[in-house]
């Protein structure tokens, strides 16, 4: 069953912004096959290069990320054209070795502190680097893949099939009932008091609305009657696009699956505020779309985060 995609959900006047969902760069896809332009640009003083090694960010010894260098300073490795950023051109180099004096760290460790303007460049570079690392052979014939189009395509050397980087859609939803209470769940291994919105991957042949309804019913046994789009957030850990929704429940009885979700409950705004202030409820982190959903429903900022 597909819930009503044009629902009668409440209109929330406060809209919390979604981190990482705005890009300040132009991806200039048409230049990816322009080898002469790329060679010329690589010599230009207006070119900056992000260093990535084995799918991780290269960071300075004090741990601040990311490291941008000039082309002359860039180590050996696969070049990836990221795009134009203001009057600069940005590349990434998937470095064969980490330059002396530098270190590597997972993007996840730094995603909270990325410059919001540059975040999309960094997410793009790390997602492509992880794709290069995990896709070495053609899924059709097992042949060797060769990198093309400035790092954005791989081509099989045996059967010529092109491979493109994949992005896996996942739905994340804040469920409300007729009293506009909000449903949050927790996983058994999470620290005490930590609750979040429900989420799950979209299955083949499934619409986003169907995925919202299926995941909620599977995880907590609540039936969804209406779904309303909220916004989306790239989440390349390793390759997701989180698509956010508000969902209206037709039922309120909770029956957790005990596998993905170990507990779930309904919150009024007052309960959420009181428990978050007391620290007995720990809400999702500031840059997550989950936080944006919760604060949009709540009507403003809330204390505490993991
Ligand atoms: Zn092949």
Between the CA of 146 and the centroid of ligand 1 the distance, in Å, is: 10
pLDDT in tens, 174-228: 999 999 999 999 999 999 999 999 999 999 999 999 999 999 999 999 999 999 9
User: What residue spans of 112-157 are helical by DSSP H?
Assistant: 119-134
From the CB of residue 14, how many other CB atoms can be counted at a distance below 10 Å? 11
| 3 close to 227: Cβ distance less than 8 angstroms | yes
User: From CA 256, how far away is CA 187, in angstroms rounded?
Assistant: 10
User: From CA 143, how far away is CA 128, in angstroms rounded?
Assistant: 20
Q: Is the pLDDT of residue 284 over 90?
A: yes
Q: What are 133's two structure tokens?
A: 């690392």
Between the CA of 235 and the centroid of ligand 1 the distance, in Å, is: 29
| 57 close to 126: Cβ distance less than 8 angstroms | yes
Q: Ligand 1 being an ion, which residues bring their Cβ within 5 A of it?
A: 138, 140-141, 143, 156, 158-159
Nearest to 238 by CA among 144, 111, 63, 117: 111
pTM of the entire structure? 0.91
User: From CA 61, how far away is CA 102, in angstroms rounded?
Assistant: 5
- For residue 203, give Cα distances in angstroms to 184, 227, 245: 22, 17, 17
Q: Is the pLDDT of residue 97 over 90?
A: yes
| 102 close to 59: Cβ distance less than 8 angstroms | yes
User: From CA 127, how far away is CA 233, in angstroms rounded?
Assistant: 14
Between the CA of 236 and the centroid of ligand 1 the distance, in Å, is: 26
Location of structure tokens 């982190």: 285
Bridge partner residues of 131 (DSSP): none
Q: Would you state the pLDDT for residue 58?
A: 94
Q: How far apart are the first and last CA of the chain?
A: 35
Q: Would you state the pLDDT for residue 167?
A: 94
Q: Would you state the pLDDT for residue 117?
A: 82
Give 154-168 as a DSSP string: EEETTT--EE----E
Q: Would you state the pLDDT for residue 7?
A: 57
Helix axes 269-278, 289-298, angle to 10 degrees: 120
pLDDT in tens, 99-156: 999 999 988 888 888 888 889 999 999 999 999 999 999 999 999 999 999 999 999 9
Between the CA of 156 and the centroid of ligand 1 the distance, in Å, is: 5
Q: What percent of the chain has pLDDT over 90?
A: 84
Q: Is the pLDDT of residue 274 over 70?
A: yes
- More confident call, 293 vs 287: 293
Between the CA of 170 and the centroid of ligand 1 the distance, in Å, is: 29
Q: Is 90 helix (H, G, I), strand (E, B) or coil?
A: strand
- What DSSP state is assigned to residue 96? S
Between the CA of 163 and the centroid of ligand 1 the distance, in Å, is: 9
| Mean pLDDT, rounded, for 20-47 | 95
């Amino acid at each position: 069953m597909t819930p009503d995609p044009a629902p009668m959900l409440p209109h929330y006047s406060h809209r919390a912004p979604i981190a990482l969902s705005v890009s300040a760069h132009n991806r200039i896809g048409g230049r990816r096959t322009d080898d002469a332009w790329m060679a010329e640009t690589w010599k230009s003083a207006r070119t900056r290069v992000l260093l990535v090694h084995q799918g991780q960010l290269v960071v300075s010894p004090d741990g601040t990320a990311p490291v941008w260098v000039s082309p002359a300073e860039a180590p050996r490795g696969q070049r990836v054209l990221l795009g134009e950023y203001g009057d600069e051109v940005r590349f990434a180099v998937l470095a064969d070795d980490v330059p002396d004096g530098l270190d590597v760290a997972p993007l996840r460790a730094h995603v909270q502190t990325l410059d919001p303007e540059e975040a999309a460049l960094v997410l793009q570079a790390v997602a492509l680097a992880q794709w290069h690392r995990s896709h070495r052979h053609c899924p059709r014939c097992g042949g060797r893949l060769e990198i093309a189009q400035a790092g954005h395509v791989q081509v099989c050397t045996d059967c010529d099939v092109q491979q493109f980087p994949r992005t896996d859609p996942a739905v994340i939803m804040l469920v409300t009932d007729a009293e506009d209470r909000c449903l949050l769940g927790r996983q058994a291994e999470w620290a005490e008091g930590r609750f979040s919105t429900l989420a799950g991957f979209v299955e083949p042949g499934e619409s986003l609305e169907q995925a919202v309804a299926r995941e909620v019913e599977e995880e907590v046994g609540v039936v969804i009657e209406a779904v309303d789009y909220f916004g989306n957030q790239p989440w390349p850990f390793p390759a997701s696009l989180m698509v956010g929704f508000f969902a209206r429940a037709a039922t309120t009885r909770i029956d957790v699956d005990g596998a993905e979700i170990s507990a779930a409950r309904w919150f009024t705004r007052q309960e959420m505020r009181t428990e978050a202030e007391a620290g007995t409820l720990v809400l999702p982190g500031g840059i997550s779309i989950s936080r944006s959903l919760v604060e949009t429903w709540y009507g403003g900022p809330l204390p505490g985060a993991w």
